[in-house]
């Protein structure tokens, strides 16, 4: 066929406009540091000895620390530890959103530079004052920065009683006892030793390598109860959380059985995952969590093997009214998408959704269920990278830097659309943390990825600007201020959809707290219904909300 024939055929079929438009726009565009102003680079502290904490970080967060309605960015760095003395000062970074696509480093004036060997970040309004506070997990000790409402923060870790020894990774704020205050779950990784550390000797190259976490003993994670006076009390004692030593890397707070009590799904490395189902108070008045991953069939692989769980998330992927779960593992183990069978058990449907096939050679960390194109259906992004920087020397098919994957939901199934998503998805990164957030307030959720020993990757979503949406900033009054645990339903285009406001998820990272509700091409949203979490329990309905803008919804009292 000649060019003339092609053009005449195109004209006949109405394709000339498409031909004129040029190549399709990438679904996500990588914003370079020169354009965003984010020049901070992670220092992974990689040493010839290959201490394991070097390869696990870092995390990242979208947060609106100054409450101006624009998402700012927080990035976690390594720092001094018992095995590492930095040759130059290292710090975490807080970048203020300049509302024009650029960011300004405000770390020093904000007072959130860290100073520990940082791992992850969890943002939450623990004191219900309407201003987000920042928790930084670490190898060594975690940090709690209280927001002073003036662009600065105060380190209140000690005063709050949150000094936590050992090695903490992902963390999540959630109100487990529905008292209206955010409590805290801290994943504890392995027992890495206090004065000495394990060495696994040399690899085939005659060099030290990162020990597989299998060689370390597991540790129990921490549950801190918020006392409401700025202090916390360890509450895991006597619960299955204390009785379950694991190697926690990822956690999401969700409600798997719709009983109004937030549960926890924890990804563990080389041992079974945990599903801590919140059972409320026992007969002695003690709040109990039942660890039931084995019974729920989310603890091990289909073949009964413990895997290397890292990133997790939860969402009502298939719009059934129940929360489904996801866990990412290392290469050859494949990732799992667990469909909720509505009876506290799950079925792994990762093969049926193409997830297992796409992830066989990958090691997954940060990940997120989100509706990237605002068509109303839940999609998925996965960031990847092998933990061993020398892996390519002894495995030709696995790489240290790995591609990001994007899945789009179509006809009730996820489909790998990475090949169509743009140049950023054909590149490879040593990805770790991943946060979702709408940094330019266009209603399309953007992505921030933290890389190990590298610069963060900011991906601007430009997938479906013509789809309609409504953004919600929920403000609890009697329930927790962040409204974690709220149930949102909305009707548009003849479809009723629902979402639970989970918290946590991904890996070492924290997300834009706002919820964007996609309605696709529907030109009207009939109503939105908010069921606030207890102790409120109120249901609030908003009729005919305006489209394509963010709304602040405050709990009516």
Partner 1 sequence: MRFVATLLFFSALAAQGPDDQILKDAISAHQAGNIDAAIGGYEKFLKTHPDTLIALSNLGAAYARVGRYNDAIEQYKHALKLQPGNPQIEMNLALAWYKIGEADEAAPIFEKVHKTALDQLQPAMLLADCWLAMGKNKQVVELLDPYAFDRPDDPGIAYMLGTALVRDNQVSRGQAVIDKILRNGDSAEARLLLGTTKMNAGDFSGARDELAKAVELNPKLPDVYSFYGVALLRTGDTKGAAEAFHKELTSNPNDFNSNLQMAVLFKQDEKFDDAMGYLKRALQIRPGDIGVRYQIASIDFETGKVEEARAALEQMVKEAPQFTEAHVTLATVYYRLKRKADGDRERAIIAQLNAAAQEKQPGVHVK
Q: Cα dist. 386→2, 97, 330, 376, 430 in Å?
A: 47, 31, 7, 33, 7
Classified as helix, coil or strand, 301 is: coil
What DSSP element (H or E) covers 491? strand 487-492
Q: Which two tokens stand for residue 360?
A: 């066989």
> Is the Cβ of residue 272 or residue 436 nearer to partner 1 in the bound state?
272
Shortest approach of partner 1 to residue 334 CB, angstroms? 9
> Is the Cβ of residue 211 or residue 522 nearer to partner 1 in the bound state?
211
The Cα–Cα gap between 315 and 323 comes to 5
Eight-state DSSP code of residue 129: S
Residue 5's CB is within 10 A of a number of other CB atoms, namely 9
The Cα–Cα gap between 312 and 402 comes to 18
What DSSP element (H or E) covers 107? helix 107-110
Site for partner 1 contains 205 (CB under 8 A): no
Give exposure, 126-135, as e/b (b: 16+ Cβ within 10 Å). bbbeebbbbb
Site for partner 1 contains 47 (CB under 8 A): no
The Cα–Cα gap between 154 and 110 comes to 9
Q: Find the binder of partner 1 among 3, 85, 88, 305 (CB under 8 A).
A: 305
Neighbour-count burial of 88, counting CB atoms closer than 10 A to its CB (0-12 exposed, 13-18 middle, 19+ buried): exposed
Q: Find the binder of partner 1 among 297, 392, 442, 529 (CB under 8 A).
A: 297
Site for partner 1 contains 542 (CB under 8 A): no
> Is the Cβ of residue 211 or residue 450 nearer to partner 1 in the bound state?
211
Classified as helix, coil or strand, 130 is: coil
Site for partner 1 contains 302 (CB under 8 A): yes
Query: 């990588």: which residue's tokens?
Result: 30
Shortest approach of partner 1 to residue 357 CB, angstroms? 5
In 3D, which of 447, 554, 453, 457 has the Cα closest to residue 506?
Answer: 447
The Cα–Cα gap between 179 and 193 comes to 37
**Interface pattern 309-338 for partner 1 (x via CB under 8 A):** -----------------------x------
Shortest approach of partner 1 to residue 215 CB, angstroms? 4
Stretch that binds partner 1, among 10-18, 53-61, 290-298, 381-389 (CB under 8 A): 290-298
Site for partner 1 contains 194 (CB under 8 A): no
Query: Footprint of partner 1 on residues 250-269 (CB under 8 A)?
Result: none
Stretch that binds partner 1, among 5-13, 108-116, 193-201, 502-510 (CB under 8 A): 193-201
Q: Find the binder of partner 1 among 198, 455, 542, 551 (CB under 8 A).
A: 198
**Interface pattern 383-402 for partner 1 (x via CB under 8 A):** -----------xxxx-----
> Total residues at the site for partner 1 (CB under 8 A)?
38
Stretch that binds partner 1, among 176-184, 195-203, 419-427, 443-451 (CB under 8 A): 195-203
Query: Using CB under 8 A as the criterion, which residues of the chain lie in contact with partner 1 when the complex forms?
Result: 49, 193, 195-201, 211, 214-215, 217, 271, 292, 294-295, 297, 299-300, 302-306, 332, 345, 351-352, 356-358, 360-361, 394-397
């Amino acid at each position: 066929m000649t060019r003339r024939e092609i053009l005449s055929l195109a004209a006949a079929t109405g394709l000339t406009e498409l031909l004129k438009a040029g190549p399709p726009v990438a679904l996500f565009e990588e914003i370079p540091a020169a354009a965003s102003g984010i020049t901070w680079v992670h220092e992974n502290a990689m040493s010839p000895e290959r201490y394991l904490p070097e390869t696990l970080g870092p995390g990242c967060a979208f947060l609106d620390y100054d409450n101006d309605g624009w998402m700012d960015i927080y990035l976690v760095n390594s720092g001094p530890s018992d095995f590492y003395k930095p040759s130059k000062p290292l710090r975490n970074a807080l970048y203020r959103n300049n509302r024009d696509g650029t960011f300004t480093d405000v770390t020093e004036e904000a007072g959130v530079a860290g100073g520990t060997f940082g791992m992850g970040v969890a943002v939450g309004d623990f004191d219900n004052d309407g201003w987000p506070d920042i928790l930084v997990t670490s190898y060594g000790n975690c940090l709690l920065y209280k927001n002073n409402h003036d662009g600065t923060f105060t380190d209140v870790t000690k005063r709050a009683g949150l000094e936590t020894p050992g090695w903490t990774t992902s963390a999540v704020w959630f109100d487990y006892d529905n008292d209206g205050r955010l409590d805290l779950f801290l994943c504890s990784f392995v027992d890495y030793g206090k004065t000495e550390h394990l060495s696994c000797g040399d690899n085939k190259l005659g060099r030290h390598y990162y020990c597989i976490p299998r060689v370390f003993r597991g540790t129990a994670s921490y549950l801190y109860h918020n006392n409401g006076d700025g202090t916390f009390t360890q509450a895991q004692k006597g619960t299955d959380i204390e009785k379950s030593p694991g190697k926690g890397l990822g956690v999401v707070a969700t409600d798997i059985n719709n009983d109004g009590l937030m549960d926890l799904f924890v990804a563990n490395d080389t041992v079974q995952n945990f599903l801590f189902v919140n059972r409320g108070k026992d007969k002695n008045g003690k709040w109990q969590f039942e660890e039931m991953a084995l019974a729920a069939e989310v603890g091990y692989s289909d073949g009964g093997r413990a895997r290397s769980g890292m990133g997790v998330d939860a969402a009502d992927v298939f719009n059934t009214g129940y929360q489904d779960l996801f866990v990412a593992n290392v290469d050859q183990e494949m990732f799992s998408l667990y469909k909720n069978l509505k009876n506290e058990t799950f079925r792994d449907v990762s093969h049926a959704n193409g997830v297992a096939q796409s992830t066989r050679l990958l090691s997954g960390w940060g990940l997120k269920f989100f509706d990237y194109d605002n068509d109303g259906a839940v999609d998925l992004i996965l960031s990847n990278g092998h933990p061993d920087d020398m892996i390519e020397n002894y495995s030709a098919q696995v790489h240290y830097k790995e591609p990001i994957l994007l899945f789009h939901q179509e006809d009730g199934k996820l489909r790998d659309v990475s090949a169509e998503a743009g140049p950023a998805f054909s590149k490879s990164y040593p990805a770790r943390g991943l946060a979702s957030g709408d940094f330019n307030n266009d209603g399309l959720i953007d992505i921030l990825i933290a890389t190990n020993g590298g610069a963060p990757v900011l991906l601007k979503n430009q997938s479906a600007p013509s789809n309609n949406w409504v953004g919600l900033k929920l403000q609890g009054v009697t329930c927790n201020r962040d409204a974690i645990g709220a149930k949102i339903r909305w009707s548009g285009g003849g479809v009723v959809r629902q979402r639970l406001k989970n918290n946590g998820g991904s890996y070492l990272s924290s997300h834009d707290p706002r919820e964007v509700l996609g309605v696709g091409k529907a030109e009207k949203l009939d109503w939105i219904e908010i069921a606030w979490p207890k102790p409120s329990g109120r249901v609030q309905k908003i009729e005919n909300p305006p489209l394509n803008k963010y709304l602040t919804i405050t709990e009516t009292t």
